Structure 1
Amino acid sequence: MVSFMACEDLGADGIELDVHLSKDGEIVVIHDETINRTTNGKGFVKDYTLAELKQFDASYRFKRQFKGCTIPTLKEVFEWAKGNNFSINVELKNDKIEYHGLEERVINLIRSYEFEKRIVLSSFNHKSMLKFHLMAPDIETAVLFNRRSKEPWKIAEDYKAKAIHPNYRIITDEQIEETIEHHIAVRPYTINEPAVMKRLFEVNCTAIITDYPELAFQVRSQLLSK
């Protein structure tokens, strides 16, 4: 939550986050399938209840700056988001672990907050995105991928998605432009180098996903001032 709040302070357009299901079926926001790397605990997210997950410190690597940051739920993020106009890219981490009922729970939560127009759902599990589309065609979906494709827009079309979120290394400027011409949004990940940011801004990429929004603002401002 500290990071999300910092993005709001910086004036970012939105945030990207990853969700898993806890042992008791709560939607929790954490990147990895395990808590090993980003908390002071060990084990799979799916093997802990929400109450148990809340006992771990998600800021232990940043003790000088922060204390006692816990793993948030998606509901907590949505509660905070009621106070802003952020776009929220919710990535489902269900490509390695099958979380039964994750799609339905996410849709129900989005509907309860009336965030349908603010959410982009994405996953490397393309069948999950097709399932989302069939259940909630009014909520935008995007397919994540990191393998080259001659016609990347077709990946989105095959799974009824409105966007692609490719690894920036495997898509060319021409492919980005062609995909947008096919009315498919393009939001590459994870763009942290100024030169790559500049390249993508110059081809009018729909958006970029970055760890450094303040750097992206600087690059974009320099281009706009020319």
Structure 2
Amino acid sequence: MLIIAHRGASGHAPENTMAAFRLALDMNADGLELDVHQTKDGEVVICHDDDVKRTTNGQGLIQDMTLEELQRLDAGSWYGERFRGEKIPTLHEFMALIAETRLLINLEIKNLPFYYKGIEEKIVRTVLEHDLLERVVISSFDHYVLAAIVELEPRMKLGLLFGTSKSEPWSYVEQLPFRAYSLHPHYTVVNEEYIARSHSQGYKVYPYTVNERAWAEPLAIAGLDGVITNYPDRFL
């Protein structure tokens, strides 16, 4: 079972920062999960929310700000004084950090409620430039953007994100115009039957956000492919 650090080791460091990603590397996580948006001047940056107010000392929508404006913000001190000065990273910065590792990368496109025109091409180009096609899974709640990704690069691995309302997604998944690599459900809908049925149809299962070791242990035995967690150290 792979241990995938959710927004980096976000239980111990400010989420989606280079500090959180480096800490997950130090904890020997098997993979990293991150979220991307696009700036006003077309740069792909890493942040969970479309507004910076929760995780920086600024406010405003990412789509309305340039990269220069975003990188003036402090994305670390909200979590703790020792992280003061952490910045919102670019996708290129992140890729440079992990290119020489063997980690699985789960890159989530945050394309709702705002559509970022051209973000698909930029993500595909960045993945290929860093020779990471085999190690990247692109996921999203917006399944249209995944269809656009596979049009650009048919070899890309795609992960379908679901909330709690879709506890039996298999008939839906079979009707999509692309082949999914993995299912990323909320952990509360996952059990042994969910894992077995997904595997029978050729899908890996990576539930989010699993923070309790006791929940994961029996499902690891049942063949769960991985967990997306804020605390990779609890599982390793």
- Scaled by the length of structure 2, what TM-score is found? 0.88
- Identical positions, percent: 36
Query: The residue matched to 1:52 in structure 2 has which SS?
Result: helix
Segments of 5+ residues of structure 2 without an aligned counterpart are: 1-17
How is 1:116-155 mapped onto 2 (pairs within 5 angstroms)?
116-149=133-166, 151-155=168-172
Question: For 1:11 and 1:166, how far apart are their aligned partners in 2?
Answer: 24
CA distance in 1, matches of 2:233, 2:80: 23
Instruction: Quote the residue 1:224 is aligned against.
Output: none
| Residue of structure 2 equivalent to 1:6 | 23
TM-score by length of 1: 0.91
CA contact (8 A) 2:198 2:205 kept: yes
Match for residue 178 of structure 1?
197
| Structure with the larger helix share | 1
Contact 1:191 1:208 in 2 (8 A): yes
User: What's 2:224 paired with?
Assistant: 205
Contact 1:163/1:186 (8 A) holds in 2: yes
Does the residue aligned with 2:188 lie in a helix, a strand or coil? helix
1:44-66: CA deviations, max 9, x gaps?
11110000000000001234322
Is 1:192 matched with 2:211?
Answer: yes
CA contact (8 A) 1:148 1:171 kept: no
Question: Which ranges of structure 1 fall in alignment gaps of 5 or more residues?
Answer: 218-226
Q: Within the alignment, does 1:17 sit opposite 2:34 as a pair?
A: yes
Residue aligning to 1:167: 186
Distance 1:113 1:176 in 2: 32
Distance 1:158 1:151 in 2: 14
Q: Is the 8 A contact 2:111 2:142 kept in 1?
A: yes
Query: How many residue pairs get matched?
Result: 217
Deviations 1:153-174 (A, max 9, x none): 3343333211110001123320
Greater length-normalized contact order (CA 8 Å, ≥ 6 residues apart): 2
Equivalent in the alignment of 2:127: 110
